[in-house]
Structure 1
Amino acid sequence: MSKELSQVKQLRLCALCDDKPSKYCCPRCEVFYCSLDCYKSDKHMECSENFYRECVNQELASHHVDEDAKLKMVEILKKMHENGDDEIDDPENCEDVDSDDGSDIDLHTRIQDLNLDDPDALWNALTEDERNEFEFMLSKGDVGAIIPQWEPWWLYCKEKKLIEDVNETSNEAEVLKTCPQIKSVPKFSSLTSVKPSPAIRFNMANVIASYAFTLRYFNGEIEPVETAIYMLDICTNLNNNINFEDPDLAIESVAQRCLQSELIETDETSLDVMRNDTLLILKGPSEENKLFYSKAAFSHIIQIFTDAKSQSKSNKTDSNVDNKNKGIFSKKFPEHNKNHLPSIDVSKLKKIIKKLEYYLSFLDSCND
């Protein structure tokens, strides 16, 4: 039976060109088609354009867009526009484009004065080709391919040389300005008179590994509550006060928690990146400034958990309002809201912040 079905699929022709065997099925009208050209053809235009319009309207209507998000959207649309131009093989075909669609005007110019909170205004600014291309990527799940890749701030590492030119200039100072601002914390001697266990260094590696993975996982986009939940899910030192006696075990613990997590989908390649990122943070930007990246990381983590604590308090009073105002997109795709995330205990966050400040204070004492 399965063999017969396979043969039927192979013999089924594209319903749009009636020439080539079909490979895909439109999720909206269920028509079978063979290629992107057929999907974007006039025969299928009404279905594809309406489907994409609904997706864009629902997505944009369900989110408040801040200035950073607007700039990122401009970059995404501009990149999509440039990629679309690269695919035009025959310049003569440009004459077939409707002169009223605005394709002769740069995309950035077309949308620079628009309110990106208005989905209809944004949609009307796109050309027909841009709408079809974006819709096709949406149906294939390829939208992430055009999102700018975030570059971590800890990648710079000054090369160690046996002999250095005294006139050689270093860009280390400029690079360090892009790192999270290091917070001021109480002196370590004022926090405790007890010498810390050697395990403190390995415990800190566990925290840094979870931080490095989480930032990569969200492509540098920080939403405090969600980021804190994900970090606690994979960082047993912060979440369960687990101590480590070996740095490799501390980092591998994060890798195993990532693989076991119900929130995270990852692979060995991503975990290898996490291991390398952790090493870079622990090594620091240079031999003379080994602890800078570690202190910057803990400062950033403290800020994330502090913001998460503040937002968690306010969310308790706003939860009922949020549920009533839930948009169509969030109802249709529940994984895009936070209902699937576990709750977070504000009192626990306070203890974790104190622990993080203790770690940062310890790093300051190492410099002394």
Structure 2
Amino acid sequence: MSEETNHNTDNRLCGLCEQNNSKYSCPRCDVLYCSLNCYKAEKHLQCSESFYKDCVNQELALHEADDESKSQMIDILKRIQNQDLDGTDNEDDNESIDSDDEVQIDLHDRLQNLNLNDADSVWSALTEDEKNEFEALLSQGNVGAIVPHWEPWWMYRRDKKLVEDLKQTDNEKEILKKCPHIKSVPLFSTLTNVKPSPSIRFNIINVLAAYAFIMRYYNGEVEPIEATTCVLSICDNLNSNSNYDDPDIAVEAVTQKCLLSDLIETDEDSLEIMRHDTFLLFQGPNDDNVLLYTKAALSHLIQIFSESKTLSKLKPEEKQNKGDFTRKFPDHGKNHLPSLDISKVKKCIKKMEFYISFLNTCK
């Protein structure tokens, strides 16, 4: 953007809606616009679609990614293109790009040597227009609409039939490979000779409900320390050794903790999904393997807690070295989280191993 354009941006009308003062300038055609809606308006459709398509195509061409990653990237592109366009057909997708454009899409080059887990580094590599567009998405609450939806691994269920389909059985084996690996634990008889309380099953349900909620809440991609902290904040069986004598109460306890938590923002629809997910986890993939999902969920939770324990031992980040992104979006990091009690984390790991060992004795 030229100095003159930059100076006059705030004093000129949006070139698309011609009603509001402009805030941004398109990096491709230099048109001034006031909002994301105008940027993606029909008058600007050809340019905005080309921008997104070039960006993603170059990223896919230059970056070696697996088929799943490419599919997710294409899905994001489609969501961005179709958002707020009311189903408008994109007939110009295959139009060639003007090679004389002053602004070249070099996203891959800018990100190539960066740690993509370092938000400040990634933020510093973006152009001002890219930053403005990101903030516009956040302000309008549209980010979730372009992020691929995570499908939980526990959704498969085969009801018992009088006649079994052999092809379906083979397909089931492939589906169940998506389950987390079940942790090996000591025999229950080596851990205790005392008969466990009937409440142990309901306590496990309390843990399953917390796990199901957190996995959905983070769309399947959990950061160990944050996930562990949040699980402890909503699961009283792990956090304070609470016991339950009814499955509905065990699940409802997690529901209430989610609503009261300072770390979580949720609604009744999400909590109803959590209740159903807990049922599916406890039900298992089929009548012959009822406990598989429960043991897989506990094993995954043990892995998350173990990783958080390891990460907590690392030297904390220097608070003085906050970048622009951290200052602008302080809640993206872990500084807002309460300190993690490592001794409690270790006890929780032992408790969940005890649960898996107990489940190995059940038929």
Normalised to the residue count of structure 2, the TM-score between the two structures is: 0.73
CA distance in 2, matches of 1:359, 1:210: 15
CA contact (8 A) 1:33 1:39 kept: no
Q: Is 2:321 the partner of 1:325?
A: yes
CA gap 1:165/1:90 in 2 versus in 1, 3 angstroms: closer
Percent of aligned pairs sharing the same letter:
46
Aligned counterpart in structure 2 of residue 359 of structure 1, from 349, 355, 359: 355
CA contact (8 A) 1:205 1:250 kept: yes
Measured against aligned partners, the alpha-carbon deviations of 1:254-295 in whole angstroms (never above 9, x if no partner) come to 001000111110000000000000000000000000000001
Matches within 5 A, 1:162-311: 163-165=162-164, 167-170=166-169, 171-311=171-311
User: Which residue in the other structure is 1:151 paired with?
Assistant: 151
Matches within 5 A, 1:9-28: 15-16=13-14, 22=20, 26=23
Please state how far the C-alpha of 1:176 moved relative to its aligned partner.
Answer: 1.3
Q: Give the partner amino acid of 1:149.
A: H
Q: Give the partner amino acid of 1:172.
A: E
CA contact (8 A) 1:17 1:38 kept: no
CA contact (8 A) 2:180 2:299 kept: yes
Matches within 5 A, 1:82-161: 82-83=78-79, 98-101=98-101, 111=108, 115=112, 117=114, 136-161=136-161
CA distance in 1, matches of 2:221, 2:145: 16
CA distance in 2, matches of 1:346, 1:137: 37
Higher helix share: 1
Gaps of 5+ in 2: 1-11, 26-31, 44-63, 115-120
Q: Give the partner amino acid of 1:186.
A: P
Q: CA RMSD in A?
A: 4.2
CA gap 1:232/1:111 in 2 versus in 1, 3 angstroms: same
Tell me whether 182-191 or 90-99 shows the greater mean CA deviation. Answer: 90-99
CA contact (8 A) 2:23 2:34 kept: yes
CA contact (8 A) 1:16 1:38 kept: no
Measured against aligned partners, the alpha-carbon deviations of 1:41-67 in whole angstroms (never above 9, x if no partner) come to 99xxxxxxxxxxxxxxxxxxxxxxxx9
Measured against aligned partners, the alpha-carbon deviations of 1:306-340 in whole angstroms (never above 9, x if no partner) come to 111111122xxx22x43233211112211111111
CA gap 1:133/1:229 in 2 versus in 1, 3 angstroms: closer
Partner of 2:153, secondary structure, is coil
CA distance in 2, matches of 1:254, 1:273: 13
CA contact (8 A) 1:228 1:305 kept: yes
CA distance in 2, matches of 1:150, 1:92: 30
| Length, aligned pairs only | 315
CA gap 1:97/1:85 in 2 versus in 1, 3 angstroms: farther
Please state how far the C-alpha of 1:37 moved relative to its aligned partner.
Answer: 3.3
CA contact (8 A) 1:40 1:132 kept: no
Please state how far the C-alpha of 1:243 moved relative to its aligned partner.
Answer: 0.4
Q: Give the partner amino acid of 2:203.
A: N
Matches within 5 A, 1:28-67: 33=34, 36-37=37-38
CA gap 1:313/1:19 in 2 versus in 1, 3 angstroms: closer
Gaps of 5+ in 1: 1-13, 43-66
Tell me whether 168-177 or 217-226 shows the greater mean CA deviation. Answer: 168-177
CA distance in 1, matches of 2:233, 2:226: 11
CA gap 1:355/1:272 in 2 versus in 1, 3 angstroms: same
User: Which residue in the other structure is 1:11 paired with?
Assistant: none
CA contact (8 A) 1:202 1:247 kept: yes
CA distance in 2, matches of 1:131, 1:160: 53
Please state how far the C-alpha of 1:226 moved relative to its aligned partner.
Answer: 0.7
User: Which residue in the other structure is 1:339 paired with?
Assistant: 335
CA contact (8 A) 2:13 2:19 kept: no
Measured against aligned partners, the alpha-carbon deviations of 1:150-199 in whole angstroms (never above 9, x if no partner) come to 111000001222x2146553222111111100011000011000000000
Q: Give the partner amino acid of 1:341.
A: L
